Amino acid sequence: MGSYDGPVKQTNEALGANIAKALLANGYKSAVYAATAEEARALAAALIPDGCTVGVPGTVTVREVGLIEKLAEKKCKVFHHWDPALTSETKPGRLKDENSADWFVTSSNAITVDGCMVNIDGTGNRVAGMAWGTGKILFIIGLNKVERDLERAIARARNVATPPNTVRVGMTTPCVKLGYCVDCKSPERSCRAILILERVPFGREAHVVLVGQKLGY
């Protein structure tokens, strides 16, 4: 049997290049396409200087590309709150450290072809770090998160990204059983703040690596 991957790779390259162009027009300092997670990790590691501090909020993508391990090799101090040793007393301090690091490295729940990002948050720390911070920010985004427009991007964030994230943290919201969002009134509801990044906020240096494979939720 022959390989049918070629057309997919070519389409992904075209999509990645077009979104990167839109992101540059939206104020991102750099926006590049990487075909694989390995390439994305190398590009991210080349951007982030050795020895700096890096905040990593709740993101499956950044972990899937192996960037945390790579940053440790680069002697970076990584702050992240998916640490089982944290307690209710120590976690708030860790969240502050994440958001005040030299770099904030995250993904996005969805991105439109014209370079707008949509993110839903429960605690608000992740969207806060995306909207404002003194450090530089890097987004690593798999092309599985691309949508044509904002309406579909918001729908993706609710119906595709949030249900598995809710399962991951052990909640029992309706989307856990249904597999899609019903805009619930559950006290455990994890959708509490939505950020639409239409452009890079004033004064922020922001970078994006788009990846031609499925990453994160």
Q: Interface with ligand SF4 by CB under 6 A: which residues?
A: 158, 162-163, 166, 173-175, 181-184, 186, 189-191
Q: How far is the CB of 189 from ligand SF4 (least distance, A)?
A: 5
Nearer to ligand SF4, 42 or 176 (CB): 176
Q: How far is the CB of 162 from ligand SF4 (least distance, A)?
A: 4
**Angle CA(117)–CA(84)–CA(46) in degrees, nearest 5?**
45
Can you say whether residue 194 is alpha, beta or left, with left for phi > 0 and alpha for psi between -120 and 50 degrees? beta
Does residue 156 contact residue 137 with C-beta atoms inside 8 Å? no
Q: How far is the CB of 84 from ligand SF4 (least distance, A)?
A: 23
Q: How far is the CB of 128 from ligand SF4 (least distance, A)?
A: 19
Tell which residue, 47, 8, 37, 10, has the closest CA to residue 211. Answer: 37
Nearer to ligand SF4, 43 or 161 (CB): 161
Nearer to ligand SF4, 75 or 185 (CB): 185
Q: How far is the CB of 113 from ligand SF4 (least distance, A)?
A: 24
Q: Which two tokens stand for residue 55?
A: 């905040």
What is the distance between the alpha carbons of residues 45 and 73, in angstroms, rounded to a whole number? 10
Could you tell me what percentage of the chain is helix, strand and coil, using 3-state DSSP and rounding each to the nearest 5?
40, 20, 40
Q: How far is the CB of 182 from ligand SF4 (least distance, A)?
A: 5
Does residue 194 contact residue 120 with C-beta atoms inside 8 Å? yes
Nearer to ligand SF4, 19 or 117 (CB): 117
Does residue 115 contact residue 66 with C-beta atoms inside 8 Å? no
Nearer to ligand SF4, 26 or 166 (CB): 166
Does residue 120 contact residue 145 with C-beta atoms inside 8 Å? no
Q: What residues are paired with 111 via a beta bridge?
A: 117, 146
Nearer to ligand SF4, 77 or 189 (CB): 189
